[in-house]
């Protein structure tokens, strides 16, 4: 038979989910190696660390190595027991997690669980830098990658060299080692027939682990797990399932599909049945156009629109500049400018305005966001401020705001006075 006419069997679908281990905390431990093995939480302001860095500014030994943070004495770091405020934890090191501390927990609550824990500030710029770095490493090895956030991705191993060997373990090891050699960071990888199972598998052997799931592993590896392990089943759905005596994925799989549809609706019920049986045909999406870009910050203390005007104005301007920088770096422009406010009673207000042209200009974004701000009553103190740019288009593919129109935008705001702007521009 002519080799051109031979039929080759289709490769078995192998999808990986890669999750960086305690990503923010791990990045911080690279900068502060003296804190390895200690309970550390990431969250809150940066004053204590900055003071310690300032004290080392004239220390030749500290400055010589290129990482003065590594020379900060452990006793100089802020401790949770001294924290006062309403900040929340972004993440924590594994030693801190052993005390029951977790993401989104209030810092004051965490202080009761582990008062000796060290508190470090959040540095999103540094995390994004490492995120770009590890993703470029993955793409150099396996080009079919779906970006799922700053610290996780899906990767299609199916036709990548080594992607079928040992069910994908060989390629997973290569990616793990390449990331660690280049960054010093570890990750956990699950490889399975689809995204649903790969996501679950990446949790099996954390940290720095690899887990392989095949089709015939469903009953032994997946069905004994709690229903909450299925990505998409949240606390409310899980509570409803438990009220019907369904605690594990195996018990969910044992339910008739029509029964699930009757109790959870046609869409959710059918999806639950498919998920319990490990069925997921979603592709790895390599190109995903963002709908919007935003920046927001939660204040260490509630700020007043009048008495804290200068501080709010500086924060507001910085957020607009950061969003503009994000747009420019990623090659996008937008035309819908919006703001988000959270007040001291936790109520949220949003406003937006659509411009006539797309833009990625910081001053134009600032002017339009300032107009949105004027439409919100500001009697209550603020605990969060955010700026968003939507209706995105690729730069060069949409008409941009002419230079002369910036003056028109500012003029439109002038009659009533522009909140928090004044002389900032």
Strand pairing class (292-303; 382-390)? antiparallel
**How confident is the model over 156-172, as pLDDT tens digits?**
999 999 899 999 999 99
Banded pLDDT at 346 (limits 50, 70, 90)? confident
Predicted confidence (pLDDT) at residue 418 exceeds the cutoff of 80 = no
Predicted confidence (pLDDT) at residue 175 exceeds the cutoff of 70 = yes
Q: What's the topology of domain 292-424?
A: Dna Ligase; domain 1 (3.30.1490)
pLDDT the model gives residue 233: 94
**Measured distance CA(141)–CA(187) in Å, rounded:** 16
* Residue showing tokens 């570890």: 186
**Measured distance CA(127)–CA(416) in Å, rounded:** 40
Could you tell me which residues come within 8 angstroms of residue 204 by beta carbon, excluding any fewer than 6 positions away?
Answer: 190, 211, 221
Strand pairing class (348-359; 332-343)? antiparallel
| H or E element that contains 113 | helix 107-113
What superfamily does domain 15-19+126-217 belong to in CATH?
Answer: Reverse transcriptase/Diguanylate cyclase domain (3.30.70.270)
pLDDT the model gives residue 72: 84
**Measured distance CA(249)–CA(202) in Å, rounded:** 17
How is the chain split into domains, by residue range?
15-19+126-217, 24-123, 223-276, 292-424
**How confident is the model over 28-79, as pLDDT tens digits?**
999 999 999 999 999 876 556 777 777 777 777 767 666 778 888 888 888 8
Q: Which of 54, 90, 95 is nearest to 72 (CA)?
A: 54
| H or E element that contains 180 | helix 169-183
What architecture does CATH give domain 24-123? 3-Layer(aba) Sandwich (3.40)
Neighbour tally for 368: CB within 10 Å: 29
Contact 87, 47 (CB under 8 A): no
Q: What's the topology of domain 223-276?
A: DNA polymerase; domain 1 (1.10.150)
Strands (E), 98-239: 118-120, 145-147, 152-156, 187-192, 210-212
**Residue 221, SS3 per DSSP:** helix
Kindly report the average pLDDT of the chain as a whole number.
87
pLDDT the model gives residue 400: 56
Residue 194: exposure state from Cβ atoms within 10 A (0-12, 13-18, ≥19): buried
pLDDT (mean) for 251-255: 98
Q: Which of 75, 88, 73 is nearest to 41 (CA)?
A: 88
**Residue 230, SS3 per DSSP:** coil
- Report, as residue numbers or ranges, the catalytic residues: 152
**How confident is the model over 97-123, as pLDDT tens digits?**
999 998 888 888 999 999 999 999 888
pLDDT (mean) for 297-312: 88
Using omega within 30 degrees of 0 as the cis cutoff, is the peptide bond preceding 207 cis?
Answer: yes
**Measured distance CA(99)–CA(90) in Å, rounded:** 16
More confident: 308 or 62 = 308
Predicted confidence (pLDDT) at residue 229 exceeds the cutoff of 50 = yes
pLDDT the model gives residue 85: 79
pTM over 0.75: no
């Amino acid at each position: 038979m002519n080799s051109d006419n031979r039929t080759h069997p289709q490769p078995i679908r192998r999808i990986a989910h890669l999750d960086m281990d305690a990503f923010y905390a791990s990045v911080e431990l690279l900068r502060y190696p003296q804190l390895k093995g200690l309970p550390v939480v990431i969250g809150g302001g940066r004053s204590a660390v900055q003071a310690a860095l300032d004290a080392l500014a004239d220390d030749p030994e500290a400055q010589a190595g290129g990482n003065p943070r590594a020379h900060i004495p452990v006793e100089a770091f802020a401790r949770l027991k001294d924290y006062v405020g309403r900040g929340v934890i972004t993440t924590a090191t594994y030693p801190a997690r052993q005390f029951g501390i977790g993401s989104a927990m209030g810092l004051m609550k965490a202080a009761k669980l582990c008062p000796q824990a060290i508190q470090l500030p959040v540095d999103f710029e540094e995390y994004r830098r490492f995120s770009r770095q590890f993703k470029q490493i993955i793409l150099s090895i396996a080009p079919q990658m779906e970006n799922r956030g700053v610290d996780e991705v899906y990767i299609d191993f199916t036709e990548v060299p080594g992607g079928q060997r040992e069910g994908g373990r060989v390629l997973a090891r290569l990616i793990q080692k390449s990331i660690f050699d280049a960054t010093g960071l570890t990750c956990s990888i699950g490889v399975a027939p689809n995204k649903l199972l790969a996501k679950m598998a990446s949790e099996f052997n954390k940290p720095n682990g690899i887990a392989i799931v095949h089709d015939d592993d469903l009953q032994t590896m997946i069905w004994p797990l709690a229903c909450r392990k299925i990505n998409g089943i949240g606390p409310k759905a899980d509570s409803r399932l438990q009220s019907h005596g369904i605690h594990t994925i195996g018990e969910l799989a044992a339910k008739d599909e029509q029964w699930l549809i009757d109790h959870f609706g046609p869409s959710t019920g059918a999806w639950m049945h498919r998920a319990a049986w490990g069925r997921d045909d979603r592709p790895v999406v390599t190109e995903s156009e963002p709908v919007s870009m935003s920046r927001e910050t939660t204040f260490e203390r509630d700020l007043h629109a009048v008495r804290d005007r200068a501080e709010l104005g500086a924060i507001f301007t910085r957020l607009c500049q950061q969003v503009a920088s994000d747009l420019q770096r990623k090659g996008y422009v937008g035309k819908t400018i919006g703001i988000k406010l959270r007040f001291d009673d936790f109520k949220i207000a949003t406003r937006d305005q659509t411009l006539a042209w797309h833009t990625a200009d910081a001053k134009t974004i600032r002017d339009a966001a300032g107009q949105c701000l004027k439409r919100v009553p500001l009697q209550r103190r603020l605990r969060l401020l955010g700026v968003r740019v939507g209706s995105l288009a690729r730069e060069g593919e949409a008409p941009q705001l002419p230079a002369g129109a910036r003056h028109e935008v500012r003029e439109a705001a002038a009659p009533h006075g522009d909140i928090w702007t004044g002389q900032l521009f």
